[in-house]
Amino acid sequence: MSYATLADLRSNLGGQSGLTPEYVAKMMHDVPRTTVVDRTVFVLQQVAGKRVLEFGASGALHDGIVKAAATAHGVDRESTSDGRVEGFDLDDPMQAALPISDRPPQIIVCGETLEHLSNPGWFLHRLKAQFAGIPVVLTVPNAFGKAATGHINAGKENVNIDHVCWYSYTTLKCLLSRAGYTITAFHWYGGEPYTAEGLIVVAV
């Protein structure tokens, strides 16, 4: 834009440079200021004493959820012999309905799960349809994390071979909103704001 006086221009230096208002509106997005939390501690605080449905139920976080929750029904690619984790392929197009526990869950956890799915939008639509109103805790690796971007100048990608995408706050929010979810809490985990290892959101 053209300024009427040089004083006006001087006062407005530092705004977006070289970008049209249309470009800024479409492409430039503020990331909310928020704190960095411990991923495990945050998730366990959310599930403590509740009936939990957990997707991607494996590893240390799953073990913690089993201990902290009132009941925990897990879903993963492979079932476990103790019956706590049900085997289910979230990407299987023939499986219209998601697994469901005996009693409706009070909270759902998807820890580092979305980035593995071929069709995360379809998963979230089914989740919203079957468990409307139940809060979902999601954690995903940060597309702009130092770990994610730190090796690319040397011609190497630092990414799990099973992942199919990266999420930022904006892309995660967009995906969730398309499935009817609204983010009610947002934090970083591992590192510092904006360049942390990952994002944690609670969506309803």
Partner 1 sequence: MNIAHWMKKEKSGLAFTTLELVQAEEQQGHGVCLREPTDAIGMPGALLYGNPDTPSDVECIHTQMPLTSYHTPIPKFMWMHGEPLSSVGNGISMKAVIDMASRVDAFIAMREEELPIWRSMKRTYLVPKGIDLQRFRPIDVKPYAEHDPTTKLDGEPAVLYCEHWRGQRNPLYLIVAMQKVWQRFPKARLHLFNCTNDKMYQTFKALIAHNKWWTFLRTINGPVEDADVNRLYNRAHIVVSCLYPLYARSIEALGAGKAFLGPGYTDPAYPYHCQLDPDSMADAICKIWEEYGSFDFRQWAERKHDVNETVRQSVAIYERYL
Positions in the binding site for partner 1 (CB under 8 A): 1-3, 5-6, 9-15, 17-20, 23
Residue closer to partner 1, measured from CB, 15 or 83: 15
For the bound state, the minimum distance from the C-beta of residue 14 to partner 1, rounded and expressed in Å, comes to 3
For the bound state, the minimum distance from the C-beta of residue 16 to partner 1, rounded and expressed in Å, comes to 8
Which of 132, 63, 118 has the alpha carbon at shortest distance from 89?
118
For the bound state, the minimum distance from the C-beta of residue 32 to partner 1, rounded and expressed in Å, comes to 16
- Count of positions (residues) in the chain: 204
Residue closer to partner 1, measured from CB, 2 or 35: 2
Residue closer to partner 1, measured from CB, 19 or 96: 19
For the bound state, the minimum distance from the C-beta of residue 22 to partner 1, rounded and expressed in Å, comes to 11
Name residue 185's beta-bridge partners: 202
Quick one: how far is CA 64 from the chain centroid? Answer: 19
Residue closer to partner 1, measured from CB, 15 or 49: 15
Phi-psi region of 75 (alpha: psi -120 to 50; beta: other; left: phi over 0): beta
For the bound state, the minimum distance from the C-beta of residue 13 to partner 1, rounded and expressed in Å, comes to 4
Q: Please state, as a whole number, how many other Cβ atoms lie within 10 Å of the Cβ of residue 78.
A: 10
Q: Please state, as a whole number, how many other Cβ atoms lie within 10 Å of the Cβ of residue 116.
A: 16
Residue closer to partner 1, measured from CB, 11 or 45: 11
Residue closer to partner 1, measured from CB, 26 or 156: 26
For the bound state, the minimum distance from the C-beta of residue 27 to partner 1, rounded and expressed in Å, comes to 10
Which parts of 14-159 are beta strand (E)? 36-37, 51-55, 71-76, 85-87, 107-111, 136-141
Q: Which residues contact 71 (CB under 8 A, 6 or more apart)?
A: 51, 52, 101, 103
Longest CA pairwise span in the chain (Å): 75
